[in-house]
Amino acid sequence: MTDVDLLVAGGTIVSTRGRQRLNLGVTEGVVTYLGPERPPAAQVVEADGLLVMPGGVDTHVHLMDPGSTEREDFPTGTAAGAVAGVTTIIEHAHGRPVRTVDDLLEKREYLKNRSAVDFGLAAHAWPGSTEVVADLWAAGICYFKLFTCTTHGVPGHSPAALKAHLEATARVGGVSLIHCEDESLTDAAEQVLRAEGRNDGGLLFEWRNRDAEVVAAAVTGIIARRTGARAVIAHVSHPEVAEYVGRERADGAHLAAESCPQYFLLREDEVLEHGALRKFTPPARMRSSRDESDMWDLLRRGALTHISTDHAPSTLEQKADGDLWDVHFGLPGLDSTMPLLLDAAAREQITYEDVVRVYSRNPARTYGLWPRKGELIVGADADFVLVDPAVRWTLRNEDVISKAGWTPFHGREITGRVVRTYLRGALSARDGEAVASSGRFLPGPGASAPF
C-alpha cells in the first residue's frame, strides 16, 4: 500500500449517505485513502469511539476585518470557528464592503496569515452597479450579497434593481445571497413605533415584522425564477418563508434557503428580557416547541437547504451602548453553531448525516467549493473533525473565543463535542484550544471561467 502522512484509524466516518467504520489516510493535505486497510503512516491518530466528519463550511460570516476590529477580527473569529469544528468560511463585512476587483485583491492581500480556516470572500452588490458583476465573479468572489432593504449602511435593492442584478449574474453563472425584508413595510412600522415613542424590546419584532420578510422573500423568489439566476434566501426565520421558497423551487427557480441556529432555538419574546442581546434581523420568531419542531422538520426534509451562523458579533459593552434603535444588529455564532447542530443530532431532531449535509456539503456545493470542500472523499482537502458524540458539556460565555465574549446560548447543555479539528491534514484545534494554523484564500467558482 502507498504510504500516507496521516492515518485516522478506527473512527466512524459520517457522510450524507450514512456512517461507516473506515480508516482515513491523508497525504499532503488531501484525502488519499478511505477504506478498511491500515496503510503505513508517518503519524497515526486513533479515533475509536469517535465520529469523523467533514469540517464545517460556514458560508455567512462577518469578521469586521479590516474595519470594526473592536467587534471581531480574522484571528479571533476564525480561531473560534476552528475550535468549534469549522474549517472553511465565506466572509463579508458591511462596514468595509468589497465592491470592486481592486477591493477584493486588497482584502485578500491584507488577510494573508490572518485566518485559521480556509476562506472565500463575498462582494456587496450596490443597486444599479451591475457593470462590475462579471469582473467580480471572474476575479473569484464566492457570491454577491444583496439587501432588499437599506441595512447596516448598505443600500437596499428595489425589485427593479434586484432584477437587473440577477440578470447580470445569470449571464455569468454567479450566485447571490439575498437578505429579504421589504423596506416599505419595515419603514412604515418604524414610523409608527417611533411616533409612539417605543423603546422596549417588543419593538424589534414589530419593526422587523414577518410580513416584511415574507413579501421580500416571495418577490425575490419570483425574480430569481424569471431571470434564471442562482440565489440564496439568507437567514430564513420561520416556516412560511421556506414555503414560498419551496413553491418557487418547484416551479424551477434555482433557489437555496439558508437558516441559522437562532431561528430554531431562540424565542421571539426573549428580546423583551434581553433587549439588545437579541437584536438581530430578521429577529427570532419561534413562539412554541411546535414552531421549533416545524423548523427541524424543514431542515431534515431539505426545504431549508443549509445552516450558517450569520456571525456578526458585538461585545456586551457595545450591545449596551445606546438604546435598542441604535445598537448594532447581530449575534456571535461561530463558537456555538457546530455544537448546537451536534446536540440536535444527539437529541434526534436531525441526524449526524444531516449535520454533514447542512453545514458542510450543501453550503460547499451552493458556492462552488465542493468537492474540494464539504465532503470526505478521496481527492478532497483533508478538512475534518473528530467528534465525541457522548460527552456532555455546557456552552458558557467564559469559553467564547470570539471577541464578542458572550453567546445567546449561555447555559445550554450540549451533548457531543468536537475534540480535534484538522485543516488540510494539520491540527487546527484540540480540546477547546486553537492550534496555530494557516488558512488559505479560496477563489470562487467563477475564477477560472472565461469572460
Query: Which residues lie near Zn ion (CB under 5 A)?
Result: 310
Q: In the complex, what is the shortest distance from the CB of residue 92 to Zn ion, in angstroms, rounded to a whole number?
A: 8
Q: In the complex, what is the shortest distance from the CB of residue 308 to Zn ion, in angstroms, rounded to a whole number?
A: 8
CA distances from residue 271 to 153, 196, 206, 352 in whole angstroms, order as listed: 23, 19, 12, 31
Q: Which residues are CB-contacts of 264 (< 8 A; sequence separation ≥ 6)?
A: 286, 292, 295, 296, 299, 344
Q: In the complex, what is the shortest distance from the CB of residue 260 to Zn ion, in angstroms, rounded to a whole number?
A: 9
Cβ–Cβ < 8 Å for 57, 360: yes
Q: In what order do the strands lie in the sheet with 18-21?
A: 18-21, 12-15, 51-54, 384-394, 413-423, 426-430, 433-434
Q: Which is nearer to Zn ion, 73 or 310 (CB)?
A: 310
Q: Which is nearer to Zn ion, 45 or 312 (CB)?
A: 312
Summarize the chain as % helix, strand, coil (round to 5).
35, 25, 40
Residue at shortest CB range from Zn ion: 310
Q: Which is nearer to Zn ion, 183 or 310 (CB)?
A: 310
> Reduced to 3 states, what is the DSSP secondary structure of residue 297?
helix
- Residue 206 sits at the vertex; the CA angle it makes with 203 and 209, to the nearest 5 degrees, is 140
Q: Which is nearer to Zn ion, 262 or 407 (CB)?
A: 262
Q: In the complex, what is the shortest distance from the CB of residue 337 to Zn ion, in angstroms, rounded to a whole number?
A: 13
> Reduced to 3 states, what is the DSSP secondary structure of residue 263?
helix
Q: 214 — phi, psi (to 5°)?
A: -65, -45
Cβ–Cβ < 8 Å for 200, 168: no
Q: Which is nearer to Zn ion, 310 or 383 (CB)?
A: 310
Q: In the complex, what is the shortest distance from the CB of residue 60 to Zn ion, in angstroms, rounded to a whole number?
A: 5
Q: In the complex, what is the shortest distance from the CB of residue 136 to Zn ion, in angstroms, rounded to a whole number?
A: 19
Q: Which is nearer to Zn ion, 119 or 422 (CB)?
A: 119
Q: In the complex, what is the shortest distance from the CB of residue 368 to Zn ion, in angstroms, rounded to a whole number?
A: 20
Looking up cell 465565506 gives: 90
> Reduced to 3 states, what is the DSSP secondary structure of residue 273?
helix
Residue 414 grid cell: 450540549
Looking up cell 455564532 gives: 333
Looking up cell 465520529 gives: 51
Measured distance CA(14)–CA(47) in Å, rounded:
13
Q: Which is nearer to Zn ion, 268 or 310 (CB)?
A: 310
Q: In the complex, what is the shortest distance from the CB of residue 408 to Zn ion, in angstroms, rounded to a whole number?
A: 15
Q: In the complex, what is the shortest distance from the CB of residue 312 to Zn ion, in angstroms, rounded to a whole number?
A: 6
Q: In the complex, what is the shortest distance from the CB of residue 119 to Zn ion, in angstroms, rounded to a whole number?
A: 15
Measured distance CA(174)–CA(140) in Å, rounded:
10
Residue 292 grid cell: 421549533
Q: Which is nearer to Zn ion, 310 or 354 (CB)?
A: 310
Residue 185 grid cell: 413595510
Cβ–Cβ < 8 Å for 186, 179: no
The DSSP result for 307-373, as a single string, is E---B----HHHHTSS-TTTSPP-B--TTTHHHHHHHHHHTTSS-HHHHHIIIIIHHHHHTT-TTTS
Q: Which is nearer to Zn ion, 58 or 310 (CB)?
A: 310
Q: In the complex, what is the shortest distance from the CB of residue 62 to Zn ion, in angstroms, rounded to a whole number?
A: 6
Q: Which is nearer to Zn ion, 182 or 310 (CB)?
A: 310
Q: Which is nearer to Zn ion, 328 or 361 (CB)?
A: 328
Q: Which is nearer to Zn ion, 16 or 69 (CB)?
A: 69
Residue 394 grid cell: 455546557
Which run of H or E residues covers position 115?
none
